[in-house]
Copies of this chain bind each other. A is one copy, B any other.
Amino acid sequence: MIKQFDESSYTWDGVDTLVYKQDGSPFKDVTRQVLFNGAKDIPCQFRYFEVKPGGYSTLERHDHTHMVMIFRGHGQVLLDDKVTDIKVGDFIEIPSRMVHQFRANKGDYVGFLCLVNLDRDKVQVLQPDEIEAMKAKNDVVKAFLESC
């Protein structure tokens, strides 16, 4: 029932670490560990994502809700037209259809816990014209997107 955490490696006993491929897909240096894969009365998956220093998650939107808590390090999150610094403990609810992306600071990891429904729609990656429209929102978003 207990999956012990190893603080030296940010891994959990008996949990596989999935390393994303670095093949030109729109994320960089991200790993995923599935800590919980649902119970009869909790139809949700709880995952730990880790972004290496300077890395970032996919710029995406989808119908399903994300419930996120930062668990390691420092970085920024883009939510629609705002960029906010994030640190351990910060709690983020990302509603349906909101564009979002996580980025680790250059010298630091950012790791986050993320809860989703087991039954969810596929992630939609933003297209080039949508990214240009995002950049046009304000200079902070533009600088964020150009750094990824």
A residues lining the B interface (CB < 8 Å):
1-5, 7, 12, 35-36, 39-44, 46, 63-65, 67, 69-71, 77, 79, 84, 86-96, 98, 113, 115-117, 120
With A2-B79, A115-B115 given, name 16 new contacts (CB 8 A): A2-B86, A3-B90, A5-B70, A5-B90, A7-B87, A7-B88, A35-B91, A39-B93, A39-B95, A41-B63, A41-B120, A42-B67, A44-B44, A44-B115, A46-B67, A46-B115
Q: What residues of chain B lie closer than 8 Å to A67, measured between beta carbons?
A: 36, 39, 42, 46
A65 and B40 contacting across the interface, CB-CB below 8 Å: yes
Q: Chain B residues with Cβ under 8 A from A88's Cβ?
A: 5, 7
- Chain B positions within 8 Å of A79 at CB level: 1-2
A138 to chain B, nearest CB (A): 17
**What chain B residues lie within 8 Å of A87 (beta carbons)?**
5, 7
Question: In terms of DSSP, what is the predominant structure of the interface of chain A?
Answer: strand
A89 contact set on B, CB distance < 8 A? 5, 7, 12, 71
- B93 near A65 with CB under 8 A, answer no
